[in-house]
Amino acid sequence: MKLQVLKMLVLIMGLLIFVGLGLLAYGLATKIGGTAADGESQTAKPLNIMLPEGAEVSETKLDDNRLLVRLTLSDGSIKLLVFDLEDGRQTGTLNFKKAR
Share of the chain above pLDDT 70, in %: 87
| pLDDT top residue among 12 and 76 | 12
Q: What is the pLDDT of residue 23?
A: 93
Contact of 88 with 82, CB cutoff 8 Å: no
pLDDT average, residue stretch 29-41:
63
CA distance 36 to 43: 10
> CA-to-CA distance for 78 and 95, rounded, in angstroms?
6
For residue 90, which of 59, 69, 72 has the smallest C-alpha distance? 69
Model confidence at 40: pLDDT above 60: no
